[in-house]
Chain A
Amino acid sequence: MHRNKKVILASQIIDGTGRKPLEESAILVEDSIIVEVANKSEIFQIVKDQEYDLLDYTGFVLIPGMVDCHTHHNGFGDGRLGDDVSEISDEILTLKSSSNARVALFSGITTIRENGPKNMTMFRLRDAIKSGIEIGPRMNLCGRPVCVIGGHMGYFGGEVTGVFEATRFVRSLIKEGADYIKITQTGGTTRTSFPLLPAFNIDELSAITNEAKKFGKLTATHCVSTEGTINSLDTGVDMVIHAVFKEPDGTDKFRPNIAERLAEAQVYVNPTLHVFRARAWEMERLALKRALSKNEIKLLDSHRRNFDQRLIDCSKMMEMGVKVITGSDSSWGDYKIGNTIHETECIYMAGYSASQSFHSVTLGAAKALDMDNIVGSLEVGKKADMVVVEGNPLEEIGNLRNIHEVIFDGNIIDRGSKDSNKVYIQSAPSNN
C-alpha cells in the first residue's frame, strides 16, 4: 500500500526530550506517525527512490505540537461566569466548543485536556471530528465534572451525593467516553458553591478516585483552598488544579508540608496563574478608557495581589520539586482560548527555566495526561503533531506565539486568513 511520506526540514528541531536543539536534521513522517528523526543526509538516504513530500522550514524552528492540560471549550473568555454559560443550549455550546477547538489548533495546541463542559457537548464535538464533519486537536475529555449538589460547575450536570451515586456516575462518564475524571473538591466561582470549603466527604472522593483507577483513568481535582488539596492527597488524586493555598477564613497561607506531599506523591499541579491575571488585565484595559470607580480600583488591587500571591506560592512549590504543567483554564473567565502561552510565560515568571517552561507545555504536559506515549515530543513512533515557529522558544518563551505552521496527525492544517487569526489574540493592556 502506498504510504504518504513527508520529510520535514527546519533550521532547528527542538524535539522536546530535553536534548539540545538539532541542526542539520530532519524528520520523516509516514501517514500520521514519526518514523525517523535523524541527520538530513540520513533521512534523504532512507527516502531516495521513494515518493515523498518535502516540507522545508529553513529559517524556522520545529517543535512538538503543544499540549494544554486545562481548557474550557464551552467558554467565551469574555468575563461571563460559568453559571451564565450553562444557561446556553447544548447545540450552541457545541458550536462554540468547535470554534474554540479550531482556535486552539490554529494557535499550535494539538492536544487539549478539557476540564468540564455542559452535558454531552464535548463528546458530541469529538464524534463530529471523528466523522470528519469538524476538525480539532486531540482531546482528553472528562464529560461533566463530578461535584456536590450546588458545588462548582454543578450546572454542567454532574452533581452526585454519596458513595453509590459517585461510583455509578464515574461508570456513566467512562461509558460515555471520558478519558479522565474531573472533580471539583472545593467551591469556585459557581454562585451556589463555597470556594473556601471542601466539597465531597473523604469516602465519596475515595469512591470516585478508586473507581477511576479501576478503569485506568486519571483524576484531577479543582481546589481553590488548601483543605481540598489535602483531601486530594489523601485519596490519591493525580492532578491538583489551581492548588490555591487559602485557609477556610480566606487568608493566604502557604503550607510547606502540603507542598512537600505534592512533590513526594508526584502529583501534578496546574497552577492556572494567568486566569487570575486576565481579570486584572481587563480592568487595566478599562482604566485606559475611563476612570475606575473606587470599588473597581479596590477590586483591581485585589486581583493583582491575588496573582502575585499565586506566583509566589507557585515558585515555592517549584523549589520544593512539585511538577508544574501548563493548563491555561481558557476560555474561562476573561481568558480566551488561543492564548495558552500567557500561562506558560507565567510559569516562567514563577521560576521555571525557559527549557522547563517549554517542557511544561509539551512533554511534561503530555506525561501529566498519560499521553506521552503518543504526543509531547518529536520521537519515533509518536504522532506527527508539530508546530513551526519563528525564533527559538528556549531563548525567548514568547516565541511560542509566532506560529508559522501547524502540522497535526501528519497533515498541514489550513489555518485560514491572517486577519481571522488575529481575532482571538489577547495582549497585555497598553496605550497603543
Chain B
Amino acid sequence: MSNSSYDFTLIKAGLLVDGNGGNNLQKASVLLKDGLIKGIGNQESVLAPEGASVKVLDYGDKTILPGLIDCHVHLNGIGDGRVGNDLVTLPDEVLTLQSAKNARAHLYSGVTTIRDCGAKNNTTFMLRKAVEMGISPSPRLILTGRPISIVGGHLGYFGEEATGEVECVKSVRRLIKQGADFIKITATGGSTVTSLPYRPSFTKQEIQSITGEAHKMGKHVAAHCTSSVGINNALDSGVDTIIHGYHFDSDGTFNYRPEITEKFIEKGVFLNPTIYQGRKTIKVLESKQDQGTLTQMERENLETSRYRSEKVAEIVSKMVSEGVKLACGSDASWSYYKTGDFQSEISAHVSVGLSPIEAIVSATKDSAKSCWIDDKVGTLSENKIADILVVDGDPTKDINNLRNVVDVISNGELVDRGNLI
C-alpha cells in the first residue's frame, strides 16, 4: 500500500516510546516525509505544513515505538529442530524460498531490520536482490552471507572455511565484494557435527586479521562464542558483538569469568545472549517427552539444554548487573525457534534483569548500535528512517504488549501484513 500519493504521513498515537530509554510521550505525533521522520512531539505541535497533502494514521490510544531490530537471525532456518548439517543438504533455491518466507514473517511480526548471522552460499544475497526487484517483502537486511569458520568449524558447511591470516583476509574481501554488510565468524565450535563447541577455533592472529580487514572497510564483526577461551580470543581481537557468550570450559562445565565481564565493559562490546533459543528447545523436547516420543539423542539434548539454559540465565543476569550491554537477537529460525516470535527473546531479556524499557532499548537502539546502523534506525528521532511499530497496550509496563502488533511501518510505508503473494 503506497502512501506516495501524499506529501506527508502523520501518525498519531496515545503513547510514544522513542527507543532512547527515557520517558514516554503521551498523545504524540510523528510526521513522515519521503520515508524519513521529519517531526516528532505532542499532537498540538507536530503538524504538516499548511496546504500540504497529508495521510493521517490515527492510532488513538495505541503505542508507537521504533520498528524492532533482531540482530541475530538465520533466514535459511526452518525452525523444526533440524540441525545445520541437515539444513545445508537442501538446494540453494529451496533455502532462498525459506529465507523469503522468514523475511516476510519477521516483517509482519514487527521486525523492520534483521541481521542475518549466516546462510548457505549466496542465498541471502539473492534474497536481497529479489527484494530490490520487488519480488518479495522484507525487513531491512544486514547480511554477512557466509560466516567465516575454520576447516570443519561451526557453520563451515555454509561455504566459507578459511585457514591462516591471508585466507581470512581473502574471505572478508570476497564477502564484502558480494555485498556483506558485516562479518560473522565462529570463534568456537557449535552444533556443527565436526566442530567442538567447548573449544576455540581461530587463533587470535586469525581473528585479528579478520577484524582488521573488516574495520578497514567500515564493517563490524560478530563472533559466535560458546567457550570462555573463545570469548577471550574474540574480545582480545577487536570483535564488536559476542554472540551466545556461553562460559563453557573445555570439560563442558559452565563457570562465570569476571574478567570477561570486565573486558566487555572496557571495550564496549555488545553481548547477544540468545536466551530464548535454549528455552524453546526445552519446551519442545519436554512436550515430546510427555508424549513419550523422545529419542535418546533428544534426551541428551534436553539435559544439556536445561543445564546450559539455567547457567546462561544466571550468568547473563550477573553480567547485566555489572553493566554489560545486551543487543537483542533471537537466533530464529535456528533449531526449534521459529521466525515471527522475536518478542519471546525480548521478554527473555526482562527475565535476566532488564526493565521492560531497557529490553525495548536492547531490541531497538542498542541492537541498531551493535549492527552499526544507529545513524539510520533504532529510535524515533528526526531524520531517521521511518520504521515504526504500532502495538496495543503499554509495553513499558508489560513487555508482552509487544506481541499485540497493530501495524508495521517500514521505510515510511504501511506494510500490508495480509499480503501473501
Q: A194 interface residue, CB < 8 Å from B? A: no
For residue A414, which residues in chain B have a CB less than 8 angstroms away from its CB?
420
Q: B97 interface residue, CB < 8 Å from A? A: yes
Q: Which of chain A's residues has its CB closest to B136's CB?
A: A95
Q: B297 interface residue, CB < 8 Å from A? A: no
- A112 to chain B minimum Cβ distance, whole angstroms, is 16
Q: Which of B78, B94, B126 contacts A89 (CB 8 A)?
A: B126
- A91 to chain B minimum Cβ distance, whole angstroms, is 4
Q: Are B421 and A423 in contact (CB under 8 A)?
A: yes
For residue B130, which residues in chain A have a CB less than 8 angstroms away from its CB?
91-92, 95-96
Given contacts A96-B130, A106-B421, contact A419 B93 (CB under 8 A): no
Q: Are B418 and A91 in contact (CB under 8 A)?
A: no
Q: How far is the CA of A92 from the CA of B136 in the complex (A)?
A: 10
Give A78-97 interface residues, CB cut-off 8 Å to B.
89-92, 94-96
Give A216-275 interface residues, CB cut-off 8 Å to B.
none
Q: B92 interface residue, CB < 8 Å from A? A: yes
Q: Are A134 and B136 in contact (CB under 8 A)?
A: no
Q: Are B135 and A133 in contact (CB under 8 A)?
A: no
Q: How far is the CA of A156 from the CA of B280 in the complex (A)?
A: 44
Q: Which of chain B's residues has its CB closest to A100's CB?
A: B421
- B324 to chain A minimum Cβ distance, whole angstroms, is 38
Q: Are B416 and A133 in contact (CB under 8 A)?
A: no
Given contacts A95-B96, A128-B97, contact A133 B78 (CB under 8 A): yes
For residue A98, which residues in chain B have a CB less than 8 angstroms away from its CB?
97, 100
For residue A89, which residues in chain B have a CB less than 8 angstroms away from its CB?
122, 126, 129
Q: B52 interface residue, CB < 8 Å from A? A: no
- A265 to chain B minimum Cβ distance, whole angstroms, is 38
B: contact size bracket: 20 to 34
Q: Are A417 and B418 in contact (CB under 8 A)?
A: yes
Q: Which of A91, A127, A417, A419 contacts B123 (CB 8 A)?
A: A91
Q: A99 interface residue, CB < 8 Å from B? A: yes
Q: How far is the CA of A313 from the CA of B78 in the complex (A)?
A: 51
Q: B218 interface residue, CB < 8 Å from A? A: no
Q: How far is the CA of A417 from the CA of B78 in the complex (A)?
A: 25
Given contacts A99-B136, A133-B78, contact A94 B97 (CB under 8 A): yes
For residue A424, which residues in chain B have a CB less than 8 angstroms away from its CB?
421
Q: Are A416 and B126 in contact (CB under 8 A)?
A: no
Q: B419 interface residue, CB < 8 Å from A? A: yes
Q: A323 interface residue, CB < 8 Å from B? A: no
Q: Which of B92, B122, B127, B421 contacts A416 (CB 8 A)?
A: B421
For residue B135, which residues in chain A have a CB less than 8 angstroms away from its CB?
92, 95-96, 99
Q: Are B100 and A124 in contact (CB under 8 A)?
A: no
- A303 to chain B minimum Cβ distance, whole angstroms, is 26
Q: Which of A103, A128, A133 contacts B421 (CB 8 A)?
A: A103
Q: Are A102 and B126 in contact (CB under 8 A)?
A: no
- A354 to chain B minimum Cβ distance, whole angstroms, is 30
For residue A95, which residues in chain B have a CB less than 8 angstroms away from its CB?
96-97, 100, 126-127, 130, 135-136
Instruction: Find the residue from A95, A96, A121, A415 having the highest chain B CB count within 10 A.
Output: A95
Encoded as 1 (CB less than 8 Å from any A CB) or 0, chain B from 406 to 421 comes to: 0000000000111111
Give B91-113 interface residues, CB cut-off 8 Å to A.
91-94, 96-98, 100-101
Q: Which of B78, B93, B417, B418 contacts A90 (CB 8 A)?
A: B93
Q: How far is the CA of A106 from the CA of B420 in the complex (A)?
A: 10
Q: Are A127 and B419 in contact (CB under 8 A)?
A: no
Q: Which of chain A's residues has its CB closest to B101's CB?
A: A133
- A213 to chain B minimum Cβ distance, whole angstroms, is 30
Encoded as 1 (CB less than 8 Å from any B CB) or 0, chain A from 109 to 134 comes to: 00000000000110011011001011
For residue A421, which residues in chain B have a CB less than 8 angstroms away from its CB?
421
Given contacts A91-B123, A134-B101, A416-B421, contact A128 B94 (CB under 8 A): yes
Q: Which of chain A's residues has its CB closest to B95's CB?
A: A91
Encoded as 1 (CB less than 8 Å from any B CB) or 0, chain A from 396 to 432 comes to: 0000000000000000001111011101100000000
Q: Which of chain B's residues has its CB closest to A338's CB?
A: B421
For residue B93, which residues in chain A have a CB less than 8 angstroms away from its CB?
90-91, 94, 120-121, 124-125, 128
Q: Are A133 and B97 in contact (CB under 8 A)?
A: yes
For residue B126, which residues in chain A have a CB less than 8 angstroms away from its CB?
89, 91-92, 95
Encoded as 1 (CB less than 8 Å from any B CB) or 0, chain A from 125 to 146 comes to: 1011001011000000000000
Given contacts A91-B123, A92-B126, contact A133 B94 (CB under 8 A): yes
Given contacts A133-B97, A133-B101, A134-B101, contact A92 B418 (CB under 8 A): no
Q: Are B421 and A120 in contact (CB under 8 A)?
A: no
For residue B100, which residues in chain A have a CB less than 8 angstroms away from its CB?
95, 98
Q: Which of B96, B416, B421 contacts A99 (CB 8 A)?
A: B421
Instruction: Find the residue from B93, B126, B130, B418 having the highest chain A CB count within 10 A.
Output: B93
Q: Can you name 11 extra interface pairs (CB under 8 A) apart from A120-B91, A417-B418?
A: A89-B126, A90-B92, A95-B100, A95-B126, A120-B93, A121-B93, A128-B98, A131-B94, A133-B78, A416-B418, A417-B419
22 contacts between A and B (CB under 8 A): A89-B122, A89-B126, A90-B92, A91-B123, A92-B133, A94-B97, A95-B126, A96-B135, A98-B97, A98-B100, A99-B421, A103-B421, A106-B421, A120-B93, A121-B93, A124-B93, A125-B93, A134-B101, A417-B417, A417-B418, A417-B420, A420-B418
